[in-house]
Amino acid sequence: MSFIVLAVKSVWQYYVPSRDVLRLLDMFRWMVNDSIGIGLVNGASSLRRLSLLSYSQLARYDSPSCYKLCAISRAAGILAAQKKSVRRGFTTRTPYSFKQQLVSCYGFKIENGYLRIPVLRGKRFSIPLTKHMLEVISQPRVKVRSFTLTQNRLSLCIARDTPRIECTSTIGVDRNLRNLTVGNDEETRHYDLSKCVRMAKTTVRIVASFTRNDDRIRTVIASKYGERRTARTGHLLHNATKTIVAMAVRRREAIVLENIGGIRSLYRKGNGQGGKYRGRMNGWSFGEAQRQIEYKARWIGLPIIRLSRRETRGSSVTCPRCGERLQSDKKLKRKLWCGNCRIVMDRDMVAAVNLARRGRVRFARSRPPIIEAQGGAVEAMKGNPTPTVIPGVDAPKLTQPTKS
C-alpha cells in the first residue's frame, strides 16, 4: 500500500507589466480593501459570508469577474489572520492590503510558452514564460493551480501528486547559529553556515553606519540591504537543504525537525540579554532553513516529522546513549560530558541524534505514520503576509491510500 501526497510549491520569474496590468493590480487591491471593510463592518470573516456580502458591492469595478472572487478570498484570508492574532492576544492594526498583488486561480491559460490572463472584459495579456519556468511546470503530473502577479514578478503555484517515500529510519536536523547538524545514531554531518552569520553582521554594520536621522530613509536603506542579505543567505541555505533532502531520500530517512514556533520571543528586549546577542540570534534565519527543508521534502514525497515543544525538551542536554543529563564545562566549549557513560560528546551531534530518536518513536507509534501535512503551503510564495484562501485550492493533504 502506498500513500499519495499532494505537494505544492511555487516558482517565480520577472515580467514586464503593461498599463492594463498595472491598472488591474491597483483595482485588485481596492477590491480586497473594499471586501475587508465590508467584513469588518459586518463582523464576517468566513469566505462564504464575505462572498455573499461583498460580491454585489464589487459590481462597480470593471474587472473580470473571476478576480472578484479571488479578491474576496484574499480579504477573507487577511481577516482570518487578524482574527487569529487577536485571539492570541496580539495588538493588530486595522487590516489593509498595501501590496499591489493579484492572486487568482481562475481564468488563466498556459499555451505556447505564454501565460495568458484576462485583464479587462474581453482583453487578454500574455506573459512569456522563462525557460526555467516552462521546465518546472512541464514536469510529469505537475498542475498549475494559481498565479500571483506583483508589479514585476509572476509566481505560479504548482502542485503534483507524489507517492510518499516509505522510510525505514529517521534523521534529526538541529539548527544552530553557525551550522546545521543532520544525523542519527549511525552518522552525523555538519553544514557550515558561518558565512550567513558573517553576512548578517556586515548588514547590521552597514545599516548602522548610516547616521542620518530620518526614519524614512533609514527604512529604505535597511530594507535594501536586508533584501540583499536575504538573497545571499537564501542561496547558501539552498545548497545545504538540497543536499540534506537528497541524502535523506537516498537513505530512506524521514526528516525530524523541532518546532521553532515562537523562537523570536526568546530574544526580545527586556529578557535580560544584551543587544548584540539578541541581534545575532534574531539575525539568523531559523525559519528559512526549516521552510526550505519542509517544502523540498514535501515536493519529493519525503515524510517530515515535526516534534512539539514538549517532545524536544532537553534534546541538547540529554545523553543519547543512557538518557542521563549531560554536563557542560567552560573548558569543553561546545562539548558535553556524560558522567555515566564517561564520554565527551559534541553538543550539536547530541541534539541531532536525540531528535532522530524521538522522531522515530513517533514514527513507530503510528502506523501508517502521521505526517505533518499542514503548513501554510497554499501559496508557498515567500513573503506572503497572510494566508490566502482560494476557493477550490486547499492546503496539501494526504489523500486516500491507493493500491500500488
First-last CA distance in the chain: 6
Helix, strand, or coil here: 123? Answer: strand
Q: Cell numbers for 393, please give them.
A: 485550492
Closest to Zn ion by CB, 340 vs 399, is: 340
Helix, strand, or coil here: 90? Answer: coil
Least Å distance, CB 172 to Zn ion, is: 17
The reply on whether position 319 binds Zn ion by CB under 5 A is yes
Closest to Zn ion by CB, 227 vs 324, is: 324
Map the footprint of Zn ion across residues 211-270, applying CB under 5 A. none
Least Å distance, CB 342 to Zn ion, is: 8
**Helices assigned H by DSSP within 118-214:** 131-137, 194-209
Among 135, 324, 329, 394, binds Zn ion (CB under 5 A): 324
Q: Report the C-alpha gap between 106 and 154 in whole angstroms.
A: 15
Least Å distance, CB 341 to Zn ion, is: 3
Nearest Cα to Cα of residue 298 among 4, 80, 48, 7: 7
Closest to Zn ion by CB, 322 vs 361, is: 322
Closest to Zn ion by CB, 144 vs 338, is: 338
Residue range at the interface with Zn ion (CB under 5 A); choices 47-55, 57-65, 333-341, 391-399 = 333-341
Q: Which are the contacts of 128, defined by CB distance < 8 A and separation ≥ 6?
A: 15, 113, 114
Among 338, 349, 371, 380, binds Zn ion (CB under 5 A): 338
Residue range at the interface with Zn ion (CB under 5 A); choices 23-31, 180-188, 324-332, 356-364 = 324-332
Residue range at the interface with Zn ion (CB under 5 A); choices 82-90, 169-177, 192-200, 311-319 = 311-319
Closest to Zn ion by CB, 51 vs 184, is: 184
**φ and ψ of 16, to 5 deg:** -110, 115
Closest to Zn ion by CB, 166 vs 346, is: 346
Least Å distance, CB 188 to Zn ion, is: 16
Residue range at the interface with Zn ion (CB under 5 A); choices 86-94, 139-147, 321-329, 388-396 = 321-329
Q: Report the C-alpha gap between 62 and 118 in whole angstroms.
A: 12
Map the footprint of Zn ion across residues 172-201, applying CB under 5 A. none
Closest to Zn ion by CB, 338 vs 351, is: 338
Distance of CA 185 to the CA centre of its chain: 29
Q: Which amino acid is at 217?
A: I
Report the number of secondary-structure helices (H) and strands (E) in the chain: 10, 15
Least Å distance, CB 164 to Zn ion, is: 35
Burial of 105 (C-beta count, 10 Å sphere; 0-12/13-18/19+): buried
**φ and ψ of 151, to 5 deg:** -65, -30
Residue range at the interface with Zn ion (CB under 5 A); choices 43-51, 152-160, 275-283, 331-339 = 331-339
Nearest Cα to Cα of residue 303 among 262, 339, 343, 252: 252
Closest to Zn ion by CB, 214 vs 324, is: 324
Cell 515535526, residue? 306
Q: Cell numbers for 197, please give them.
A: 552569520
Map the footprint of Zn ion across residues 339-378, applying CB under 5 A. 340-341
* Contact indicator for 119, 102 with CB cutoff of 8 Å: no
Map the footprint of Zn ion across residues 78-97, applying CB under 5 A. none
**Edge-to-edge strand ranges of the sheet holding 179-183:** 188-192, 179-183, 169-175, 253-258, 304-307
Least Å distance, CB 305 to Zn ion, is: 24
**How many residues lie near Zn ion (CB under 5 A)?**
7
Least Å distance, CB 363 to Zn ion, is: 23
Q: Cell numbers for 381, please give them.
A: 510564495
Distance of CA 180 to the CA centre of its chain: 18
Least Å distance, CB 345 to Zn ion, is: 8
Closest to Zn ion by CB, 86 vs 343, is: 343
Closest to Zn ion by CB, 254 vs 319, is: 319
* Contact indicator for 312, 355 with CB cutoff of 8 Å: yes
Least Å distance, CB 11 to Zn ion, is: 47
Least Å distance, CB 318 to Zn ion, is: 9
Residues that bind Zn ion (CB under 5 A): 319, 321-322, 324, 338, 340-341
